Amino acid sequence: MPHYEGANRSGKALILHLLAASGAYLNFDSLGLDPVAVDLGFFTIKWYSLAYIAGIMLGWWYLIRLLGEPGAPMARRHADDLVFYVTLGIILGGRLGYVFFYRPEILSNPMDVLKLWEGGMSFHGGLIGVIVAVTLYLRSARLSFRGTFDYVAMCVPFGLFFGRLANFVNGELWGRPTDVAWAIIFPRAGPEPRHPSQLYEAGLEGLALFALLWWLFWKTGARHRPGLIAGCFLLGYALARTALERVRQPDQGLENLPWGMTMGQTLSVPMIAVGLYLVLTALRGPGVKGGMNGGAKAGA
């Protein structure tokens, strides 16, 4: 049986190679996408940088919009400081997470850790960084932990959406080889057509997750149960990431982890556990109606 399974894999790879050579699939290079958005010769701006800026700015705007609703856990004056801490968490945590989770060899030359312009950020690392940075801010400002993270979670899908689109423009983080009709040949990944998994992630982690959180906040009483929205965000992202790892090409050197999961799936396990804890405790606990902009506590 192992002989035939190996033969089947080799045969499928050959078929995909022949289909790619025949021009049956879209070639990424034919899209004319350039990672550089602005090139002034002495100064360049990449789409990846703009994706971070767009995600943070839209998230900032949306946070202020959310704080205008009854029951907000903080006042408008807290938003600017909170966004500053979130940005620090994203950058520092995202970079350190990438180094420790995916490229520990970078530590052999510590100065390379600072080379953000060469790329390399981890969502899970960024999430840890945001949690640590925001927690430090909340302790100094004496604000609600769960309630604030509900509002922060509402804004995260913007960054996820634009970040995954930037991954696609960069022609990186491609999917596994496939023969689906919409497969794309990424020349840097080899001749085989592959899943455009960056677009799948933009759709699920960005658009679909935003829609879920929007519905919870605006159409249900979820925002009056501190921790419920944050828990749903953690669960939603982790489940989407775990599923999409089946079509996303694992990072080099991390293809076959001993426990049978990819690194992305492994890092999503604690997110699922924490998400479930937040959701269950939020549903069992008393609801809170009111906040810094008015209202009073009430059981629910």
If phi > 0 it is left, if psi is from -120 to 50 it is alpha, else beta; for residue 109 that is beta
Q: Which residues contact 222 (CB under 8 A, 6 or more apart)?
A: 150, 216, 228, 229, 232
Q: Please tell me whether 164 is known to bind a ligand.
A: yes
b/e per residue, 190-210, with b = 16+ CB within 10 A? ebbbbbbbbbbbbebbbeebb
DSSP H helices in the chain: 2-21, 47-67, 76-101, 123-141, 145-169, 197-201, 209-219, 228-244, 263-284
Give the Cα separation of 207 and 157 in Å (integer).
7
Strand duo 184-185 + 44-46: pairing: unpaired
User: Within 13 Å and on the Cβ side, how many CA atoms surround 217?
Assistant: 28
b/e per residue, 228-249, with b = 16+ CB within 10 A? bbbbbbbbbbbbbbbebbebbb
If we measure between CA atoms, which residue out of 230, 221, 76, 215 comes closest to residue 148?
A: 230
DSSP 255: S
Give the Cα separation of 117 and 244 in Å (integer).
27
Binding residues: 164
